[in-house]
Amino acid sequence: MKPITAEQAKLDQQFYEENGYWISPVVFDAEEVEALRKAHDRIWNQDFDGDAFPLTEWFPSDNPTRLRKIDNAWWINDEVYKTVTARKLGKLAANLMNTDEVRVWYDQAIYKPGTGKGQETSVGNVGWHQDYVYWQCTNTTNLVTAWIALQDTDLTNGCMQVIPGSHKWGLLNSDGFFNTELEAVKKQMEVDEKPWREEPLILKAGQVSFHHSYTIHGSRQNYSNDPRLSIVAHYIPQGTAYKKIQNVDNIRLLGPRPKEGDLYDNQYFPLAYSASEEK
Ligand SMILES: [Fe+2]
């Protein structure tokens, strides 16, 4: 990837601030993409690196067309660890969050099975949601998600779609990830008055889309014959600390139990970028 000029970085930042998402140039080359596709295979075959085990996994076997997802894949796969802590990726996240330091909040490996054409089904959909609704235990909402495409990705294979500008709508009733009926989730969010526009994030293999923790996003059916694979890295900026929150237990934090105000700055939130290393 060619380095992004300071001038371009500023424009990218402005686009992100206005729209709540941004699409990068190709960050990972064909060889890196292939290595990550192999990492996916190993993960789904439960061939884990080290002696660790996944903390949250969701690969239902009852229906092969359902989505598969594993959280904190970096914990059990070296290739994923290398990728989500890659400085070139962290630096892009740093620019969007306007921070000098970026750490991994956690990651996800996501496998959306292909159904082929001709049969309509919603079982592989990801319902509209805001990532922050699952988190909330941070003293900032300035978190960014990086979605790495491991094949060319568009509406034919169920690409992610975002609602541009929705990061400015506040936190909504938007815990729809596992609800595959997108229209029902939209209703629940009560956004009828808002300027709703669905923008498909069309990516080449190795390209990355970024979205803000409040940006509404979801995805529909993968009509291709192949699974749609991605690695998703969630990032926090410098100074992110634990904030106690009631009734949110969706996130499984690694490491010791935090106390109010503790910084997420230890090895369980690995460093992806530090501006000081550049000087
Ligand atoms: Fe999400």
Ligand 1 center from residue 264 Cα (angstroms): 21
Ligand 1 center from residue 89 Cα (angstroms): 18
Q: Of 108, 111, 115, whose CA–CA distance to 60 is shortest?
A: 111
Ligand 1 center from residue 136 Cα (angstroms): 14
Ligand 1 center from residue 278 Cα (angstroms): 31
Q: Does 6-253 carry CATH code 2.60.120.620?
A: yes
Query: What was the pLDDT predicted at 2?
Result: 82
Ligand 1 center from residue 10 Cα (angstroms): 25
pLDDT > 90? residue 38: yes
Residue 236 pLDDT level (bands cut at 50, 70, 90): very high
Tell me the pLDDT tens digit for each residue of 121-169: 888 899 999 999 989 999 999 999 999 999 999 999 999 999 999 999 9
Domain spans of the chain? 6-253
Q: What are phi and psi of 59, to 5 degrees?
A: -125, 80
Exposure of 217 in the CB half-sphere (CA atoms within 13 A): 25
Helix (H/G/I), strand (E/B), else coil: 278: helix
Ligand 1 center from residue 218 Cα (angstroms): 7
pLDDT > 70? residue 102: yes
Neighbours of ion ligand 1 (CB under 5 A): 131
Ligand 1 center from residue 111 Cα (angstroms): 14
Query: What was the pLDDT predicted at 57?
Result: 67
